[in-house]
Amino acid sequence: MPSFQTVRGMRDLLAEEAEVLNFVMSKARETAKLYGYREVITPVVEPYELLSAKAGEEIRSRMFTFKDLGNRTVALRPEFTASIARLATGALKNEPKPLRTLAVGSVYRYDEPQRGRYREFYQSDYEIVGVSNPEADAEIILLTDRLMRAVGLRNYAFKVGHIGVIRGILSQENVDEKTQNAILQLMDKREFEKAFQLVKSVACLSTLRGLLTLKSDNAFDTVGRLRKHVEGYPNASASVEDLQKILKIVTEHQCPIATVEPTFSRGLEYYTGMIFEVYIPELDIALGGGGRYDRLIEAFGGEPTPATGVAHGLDRIVMAMRMQKTTPTTQNKKRVAVIPAKEEVKGEALRISQMLREAGVSVELEVMGRKMNKALEDADRRRIDFAVIVGERELEQGSVVLRDLAKREQAVVTISNLAKRINPEY
């Protein structure tokens, strides 16, 4: 047999990596609780139609699509938003609004594997459905800010834009929706010249080109210049006011805004309003991104329902934590090895292990039948904190030997006091 490897772009996460990822997931869940988002678990496999309908060409062309044995065309989810929109038109249709959901898990995109870009990766996705107010968009940015802080990241900052400004200009200049989508996809890749080539009207072209010159160091200055620039385009102007309101809320809460970019666009096609991404200076790829999508639920056959949301790239957050040397604050749990000194006391060693586990102590029982010195060596190598040596003589007194492997000290301890001796908090 050949020796098997993971499929290209797929990774095994070994214990330490899995621990950090789980830590980030736990922070994502804590953040959701603090903001009233309730977790839902949706399938990894969804109808191709659902996932592809409004995702945009960029994601559509990178989906893992296949026929199942029933000849249905299905795909691995490349994101969660489509699944949540499906729920909003079905099982959660009659839930009181706003509906706030969290989804955490793996998503799949046939991206070219490189640093921070995988074909299977993990997201925490928050959606708030049923509100068009800027407060909802601000909440999505603020909870992202909270998650960044909760995992210990520093110096992160948000890049913000508004799809309504660009669409407002293009619609008023009679650019059809298909061409608008193509323009936005090219803008997402920063291929502005190619994007502009799709625009026929000279007036429209100069307004779009002008957007490139508005960026400044101060978010509100950019918004002011943008406001002037789109005078005469009522929908674009309304979008600028919306953006201003969102920025006002988030900056009042010390949320770090790096830039407002009038030409900022994102790969997904469903966005209609504010969009954003979050970065740290050490990495030029986004740790998370999101925005408003007011027409997706309607496109899936639901009532017209405004919505906004974000997904965080958990693998990239882990990477960012490594770069900033932010070690997760794992619980200070002691690890204990219970080692029977003889075959005859194996049963007793298991009983003591179970008793410690009931008290919340993490116990690894010696099950290999190794001699005492080998078992202790092994515990040392695996950085176990304490060894509990179960010997016949001590057992007769209701005791065991507790050995502190780091300090290389040991004492005879009564079994009933054992958990407290290992950690006084137990």
Binding region for ligand HAM (CB under 6 A): 79-81, 109, 111, 116-118, 121, 123, 125, 127, 267-268, 277, 286-291, 293, 309-311, 313, 315-316
Query: Of the two residues 288 and 391, which places its CB atom closer to ligand HAM in the complex?
Result: 288
Q: Which is nearer to ligand HAM, 309 or 391 (CB)?
A: 309
> What is the phi/psi pair of residue 346, to 5°?
-55, -45
CA distance 261 to 282: 20
Residue facing ligand HAM at closest CB distance? 313
Taking the least distance from each CB to ligand HAM, the nearer of 80 and 156 is: 80
Find the shortest distance in angstroms from Cβ 371 to ligand HAM: 47
> Of all helices (H) and strands (E), which one includes residue 131?
none
- Residue 98, preceding bond cis, omega within 30 degrees? yes
**N- to C-terminal Cα separation, the chain:** 50
Determine the Cα angle at 287 with ends 286 and 290, to 5°. 80
**At closest approach, how far in Å is the CB of 311 from ligand HAM?**
4
Q: Which residue has the tokens 């997706």?
A: 296
Classify the C-alpha dihedral 213-218-223-229 as positive or negative. negative
Of 118 and 264, the one with the shorter C-beta distance to ligand HAM is 118
Q: Considering only the C-alpha atoms of the chain, give the largest distance between any 2 of them, rounded to a whole number of Å.
A: 96
Residue 156 parent element (H or E) = none
Measure the CA–CA gap between 337 and 250, rounded to whole angstroms: 50
For the CB of residue 84, give the shortest distance to ligand HAM in the complex, in Å: 8
* Closer residue to ligand HAM in complex, CB, 40/350: 40
Distance CA(186)–CA(265), nearest Å, equals 9
Token pair recorded at residue 79: 């994101």
State the Cα–Cα distance between residues 372 and 353, nearest whole angstrom. Answer: 17
Q: How far is the CB of 224 from ligand HAM (least distance, A)?
A: 27
Of the pair 23, 80, the CB lying nearest ligand HAM is at 80
- Looking at the DSSP bridge assignments, the partners of residue 121 are 107
CB of 302 to ligand HAM, least distance (A): 16
Minimum distance from residue 83 beta carbon to ligand HAM (Å): 10
Least distance (Å) between residue 72 CB and ligand HAM = 23
Q: What minimum distance in Å lies between the beta carbon of 27 and ligand HAM? A: 15
Report the sign of the C-alpha dihedral through residues 354, 355, 361, 364, in that order: negative
Q: Say which DSSP state 334 is in.
A: P
Q: Least distance in Å: CB of 108 to ligand HAM?
A: 9
Q: Which is nearer to ligand HAM, 88 or 286 (CB)?
A: 286
Element (H, E) at 398: none
CB closer to ligand HAM out of 158 and 386: 158
Shorter beta-carbon distance to ligand HAM: residue 100 or 109: 109
CA geometry: angle 47, 53, 59, nearest 5 deg: 90
